């Protein structure tokens, strides 16, 4: 039985994962934090914390709030910067068998390209996830992800700057995610991941003010799952590249739904905070499910729920 998938089949050496279960950016640090608790080498891939050219302090606190079946966050891309990442983290990853993708965010197209260039020479980096979807920063982030022209421009610049597999992470905070997806794929993305968080807010009725320090934040967790699933279903029909489904996946059943909606792989995010072993449990669960169903290759079920004439 095979769980293996390739997220950059058009590229040599591709982005081959031993299984389709990844952990999402911002929920797994640099991979090392969970190493004592989770057998991280079993994971399909790890996507590290969103990384900028220079270190970032992030947003004021409070930065998170729980909502019904969801988590609202406005961390604001606090991170160590790409040079420290290459110096301190990538050498650790180079010794791992699990592929690590670096999620990158720039304040301009040039900055995205520069980060990609710096990562291109780093051992231990298996690929780049281009974050054109962070809702919690003023410059860059989601502002490029809501405009097909800008999103394509950033994608093309990153594509030009590196030979690494390039996956672009899309924001759901748009009218038509398919048009953004098509533009980004047209600009050379090897794969797409969707979705990032939905912009939301919460008000503290005692202070009569927004609870989060940054006023708004991004909503993740099971609360967003049906919307994320619908978007994956739409995008998977429209683009020829692998789509990675993200948004409220907590268990094998929800992972299977995204695969059947056309996702070649999935990412587990917020659920890791609830149970750090969620991704590992889903890997086991997918294997068991395939065996029960008598299916020998996970790729057979990818897109099983898509319209047959698509």
Partner 1 sequence: MIRTDALVLSNTAVAGDIFLLRLRAPEIARDAAPGQFVEVRCGSTLAPLLRRPISIHRIGPRAAGYAPDEIALVIRVIGEGSRLLSRLREGDTLDLLGPLGRGFRLFPGTRRVLLVAGGLGLAPLVALADEAIAHEVNVVLLGGAETACRILPPQYLPPEVEYQVCTEDGSLGACGMVTNLCPPYLEWADQVFVCGPEAMLPPVVDQLRALAQGGRRLPVQVSLEARMACGMGVCLSCVVETRHGLKRVCRDGPVFDLTEVRVW
134 is catalytic: yes
Q: Which of 139, 274, 304, 310 binds partner 1 (CB under 8 A)?
A: 274
Site for partner 1 in 27-66 (CB under 8 A): 27-29, 33-34, 36-37, 49, 57-58, 61-66
Peptide bond into 62 cis (omega under 30): yes
Residue 124 as a binder of partner 1 (CB under 8 A): the answer is no
List the one residue out of 196, 149, 205 whose CA is nearest residue 168. Answer: 196
Of 43, 46, 47, 134, which residue is the catalytic one? Answer: 134
3 CB contacts (<8 Å, ≥6 apart)? 18, 19, 20, 44, 283, 286, 287, 290, 298
Whole-angstrom distance, CA of residue 107 vs CA of residue 184 = 18
- The nearest distance, CB 222 to partner 1, in angstroms, is 5
For residue 3, is it left (φ>0), alpha (ψ between -120 and 50) or beta?
Answer: alpha
Neighbours of 234 (CB within 10 A): 17
What is the full DSSP assignment across 259-274?
HHTT-SEEEE-HHHHH
Whole-angstrom distance, CA of residue 243 vs CA of residue 230 = 13
Q: Which of 221, 242, 245, 262 binds partner 1 (CB under 8 A)?
A: 221
> CB-wise, 38 or 180, nearer to partner 1?
38
Residue 272 as a binder of partner 1 (CB under 8 A): the answer is yes
**# binding residues, partner 1 (CB under 8 A):** 34
Residue 216 as a binder of partner 1 (CB under 8 A): the answer is no
Q: Which of 16, 147, 277, 299 binds partner 1 (CB under 8 A)?
A: 277
- The nearest distance, CB 89 to partner 1, in angstroms, is 14
Q: Computed over its alpha carbons, how large is the radius of gyration of the chain?
A: 18
Residue 273 as a binder of partner 1 (CB under 8 A): the answer is yes
Q: What is the largest CA-CA distance in the chain?
A: 57
Residue 198 as a binder of partner 1 (CB under 8 A): the answer is no
Could you give the C-alpha distances from 173 to 13, 45, 148, 153, 223, in angstroms and in order? 33, 26, 13, 19, 15
Q: Which of 8, 17, 40, 75 binds partner 1 (CB under 8 A)?
A: 75
> CB-wise, 52 or 73, nearer to partner 1?
73
Q: Which of 276, 283, 302, 303 binds partner 1 (CB under 8 A)?
A: 276
Q: Which of 141, 165, 222, 242 binds partner 1 (CB under 8 A)?
A: 222
Residue 26 as a binder of partner 1 (CB under 8 A): the answer is yes
> CB-wise, 70 or 141, nearer to partner 1?
70
**What is the CA 184 to chain-centroid distance, rounded?**
15
> CB-wise, 222 or 242, nearer to partner 1?
222
Neighbours of 15 (CB within 10 A): 23
Report yes or no: 111 and 144 within 8 Å, Cβ to Cβ.
no
- Window contacting partner 1 (CB under 8 A); options: 89-97, 127-135, 269-277, 287-295: 269-277
> CB-wise, 211 or 305, nearer to partner 1?
211
Q: Which residues are catalytic?
A: 134
Residues contributing to the site for partner 1 (CB under 8 A):
26-29, 33-34, 36-37, 49, 57-58, 61-66, 68-71, 73, 75, 78, 221-222, 250, 270, 272-277
């Amino acid at each position: 039985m095979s769980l293996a998938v390739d997220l950059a089949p058009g590229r040599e050496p591709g982005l081959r994962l031993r299984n389709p279960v990844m952990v999402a950016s911002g929920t797994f640090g640099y991979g090392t934090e969970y190493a004592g608790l989770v057998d991280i080498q079993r994971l399909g891939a790890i996507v590290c914390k969103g990384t900028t050219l220079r270190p970032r302090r992030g947003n004021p606190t409070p930065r998170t709030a729980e909502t019904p079946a969801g988590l609202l966050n406005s961390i604001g891309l606090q991170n160590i910067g790409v040079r420290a990442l290459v110096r301190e983290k990538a050498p650790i990853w180079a010794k791992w068998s699990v592929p690590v993708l670096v999620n990158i965010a720039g304040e301009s197209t040039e900055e995205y390209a520069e980060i990609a260039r710096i990562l291109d020479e780093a051992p231990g980096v298996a690929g780049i996830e281009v974050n054109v979807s962070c809702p919690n920063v003023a410059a860059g982030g989601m502002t490029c992800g809501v405009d097909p022209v800008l999103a394509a421009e950033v994608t093309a610049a990153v594509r030009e700057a590196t030979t690494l597999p390039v996956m672009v992470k899309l924001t759901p905070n748009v009218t038509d995610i398919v048009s953004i997806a098509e533009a980004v794929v047209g600009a050379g993305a090897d794969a797409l991941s969707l979705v990032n968080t939905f912009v939301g807010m919460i008000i503290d009725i005692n202070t009569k003010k927004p609870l989060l320090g940054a006023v708004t934040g991004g909503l993740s967790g099971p609360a967003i799952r049906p919307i994320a699933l619908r978007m994956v279903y739409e995008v998977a029909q429209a683009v020829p590249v692998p789509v990675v489904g993200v948004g409220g996946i907590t268990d094998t059943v929800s992972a299977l739904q995204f695969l059947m909606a056309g996702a070649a792989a999935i990412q587990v995010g917020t659920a890791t905070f609830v149970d750090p072993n969620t991704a590992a449990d889903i890997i086991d669960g997918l294997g068991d499910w395939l065996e029960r169903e008598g299916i020998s290759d996970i790729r057979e079920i990818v897109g099983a729920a898509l319209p047959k004439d698509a």
